[in-house]
């Protein structure tokens, strides 16, 4: 048996390993939010229609979601470090392709390739941390470093994207990934040891294809709502049929790739609804806020990126209070508070869209963004912990996987759904529709909180 070097404790080298691995999480999350400010510029340069702009985000998210299903299994089979480096190489090549794409079709293909690379980066990062830091304290600190780095990327991505896009052009948002990818390629082989597992669980490629086709069909059908409602109905029905086929297939397999029955209980069904509500009520809205600020107030991409700090900075400073409130209020109270803030925030944005111009509209817009940010910051970090607390102990790993997939799928579908309601012509009033739907979905999430246990003690015993 090959002797592996002893894992590093939490010393200077350990902190360097955690920071290096955190770069993978930074890149994967930065490329989700950094593009939202410059969507119109990309669409104009590459000839993408307004209703196709959603695919700039969804091509990445859909590929990321689908690839996550197999990335973990491949990492176990062929080595975690090896898969991380392959994902990093793929992400680097796809970023180059995005930066130099001559057409909309090639750009969207490159975005999908980025999503695939990001999935391997994230999976390899988490698996490598688990192997490098077996001690609970050191592992918690390492995951904390990665969480902070990823949170900074998500929160500051729109602002940094606006600054880079305004100063250098939108293509540089993708080209700035290159030095980070090169740093990962140089440092990981020197710092991170590989520990391939003996797992030989067969990969369910047909299952991956079924779920990918289902999500892709539904997203495309929703985006086509305005031009062809009949096509939308047919596409959604076909996608639902494929999802049903996928579920039936997973139930028959002794080792399912993704077991939907994890959310079969009443509390878990409530958490599934909350995952969807937060994905739509905050993350999908965040994609379209730059367009609203640009059309409604005439802001430049740089000014828009700075304005979005009202919605993103809370994600950096509020999460610690979420844990405290979860203990004091219980899961039901915490998520009810958070979803109320999300609904009120989206409602304030509706008022800002209807008022259109002036100081009052600006006040409503900033109030709405701040409420959205606080609500998301209270709920988003706590959802994963709630899933693990309420899931059966033997299903903890599967519950975590299902949670990540549900977040990403909900985000992709939310971006498509709100995109279908976007005004086809520059018109701030038209944004009242997508913001209003987001408020309605957040309200549905608030009602779903009734499915959760009322106290933290009941959650712990579930």
pLDDT in the model for residue 437: 95
Q: Which among 155, 138, 430, 200 has a CA at the least distance from the CA of 316?
A: 155
Tally of CB atoms within 10 A around 57: 27
User: Taking Cα atoms as reference points, which of 323, 6, 10 lies closest to residue 139?
Assistant: 10
pTM (two decimals): 0.82
- pLDDT reported for residue 199: 55
State the pLDDT at residue 393. 64
Q: What is the pLDDT of residue 419?
A: 86
Q: What are phi and psi of 318, to 5 degrees?
A: -90, -30
Q: Are 259 and 398 in contact (CB under 8 A)?
A: yes
The pLDDT, as a whole number, for residue 373 is: 93
In angstroms, the CA 37 to CA 243 distance is: 33
Query: Are the C-beta atoms of 163 and 177 separated by less than 8 Å?
Result: no
Digits of tens for pLDDT over the chain (462 positions)?
444 454 556 677 878 888 888 888 888 888 888 898 888 889 889 988 776 788 898 899 888 888 887 887 777 777 778 888 999 999 999 999 999 999 999 999 999 999 999 988 888 887 787 777 777 777 777 777 777 787 788 878 888 888 898 889 999 999 999 999 999 999 888 888 766 555 555 677 888 888 888 888 888 888 887 778 888 889 889 988 998 898 888 888 877 777 777 777 888 888 889 999 999 999 999 989 988 988 888 888 888 888 899 998 898 888 878 778 877 888 889 999 999 999 999 999 999 999 877 889 999 999 999 999 999 989 887 887 788 777 776 566 667 677 778 888 888 889 888 888 887 766 788 899 999 999 999 999 999 999 888 765 444 444
Rg value, the chain, Cα: 21
């Amino acid at each position: 048996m090959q002797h592996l070097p002893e894992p590093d404790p939490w010393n200077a080298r350990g902190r360097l390993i955690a920071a290096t691995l955190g770069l993978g999480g930074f890149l994967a999350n930065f490329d989700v939010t950094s593009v939202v400010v410059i969507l119109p510029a990309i669409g104009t340069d590459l000839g993408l229609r307004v209703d196709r702009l959603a695919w700039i985000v969804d091509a990445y998210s859909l590929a990321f979601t689908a690839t996550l299903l197999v990335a973990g299994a491949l990492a176990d089979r062929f080595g975690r470090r090896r898969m991380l480096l392959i994902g990093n190489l793929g992400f680097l090549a796809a970023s180059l392709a995005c930066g130099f794409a001559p057409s909309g079709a090639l750009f969207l293909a490159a975005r999908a390739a980025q999503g695939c690379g990001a999935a391997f980066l994230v999976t390899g990062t988490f698996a490598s941390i688990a192997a490098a830091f077996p001690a609970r304290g050191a592992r918690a600190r390492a995951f904390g470093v990665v969480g902070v780095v990823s949170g900074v990327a998500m929160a500051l991505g729109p602002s940094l994207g606006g600054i880079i896009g305004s100063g250098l052009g939108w293509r540089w948002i993708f080209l700035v990934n290159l030095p980070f990818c090169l740093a990962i390629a140089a440092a990981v082989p020197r710092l991170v040891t590989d520990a391939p597992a003996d797992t030989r669980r067969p990969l369910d490629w047909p299952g991956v294809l079924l779920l990918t086709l289902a999500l892709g069909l539904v997203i495309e059908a929703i985006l086509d709502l305005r031009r062809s409602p009949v096509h939308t109905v047919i596409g959604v029905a076909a996608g639902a049929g494929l999802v049903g086929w996928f579920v039936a297939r997973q139930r028959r397999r002794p080792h399912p790739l993704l077991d939907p029955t994890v959310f079969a209980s009443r509390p878990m069904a409530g958490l599934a609804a909350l995952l969807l509500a937060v994905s739509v009520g905050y993350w999908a809205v965040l994609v379209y806020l730059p367009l609203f600020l640009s059309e409604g107030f005439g802001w430049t991409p740089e000014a828009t990126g700075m304005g979005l700090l009202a919605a993103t900075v809370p994600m950096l400073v509020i999460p610690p209070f979420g844990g405290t409130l979860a203990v004091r209020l219980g899961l039901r109270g915490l998520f009810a508070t958070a979803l109320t803030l999300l609904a009120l925030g989206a409602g304030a944005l509706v008022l800002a869209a209807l008022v259109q111009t002036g100081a009052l509209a600006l006040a409503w817009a900033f109030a709405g963004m701040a409420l959205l940010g606080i609500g998301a910051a209270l709920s988003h970090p706590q959802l994963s912990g709630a899933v693990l607390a309420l899931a059966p102990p033997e299903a903890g790993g599967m519950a975590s996987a299902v949670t990540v997939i549900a977040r990403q799928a909900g985000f992709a579908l939310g971006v498509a759904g709100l995109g279908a309601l976007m005004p086809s012509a520059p018109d701030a009033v038209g944004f009242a529709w997508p913001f209003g739907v987001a408020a309605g979905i957040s309200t549905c999430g608030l009602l779903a909180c009734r499915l959760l246990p009322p106290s933290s003690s009941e959650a712990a015993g579930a």
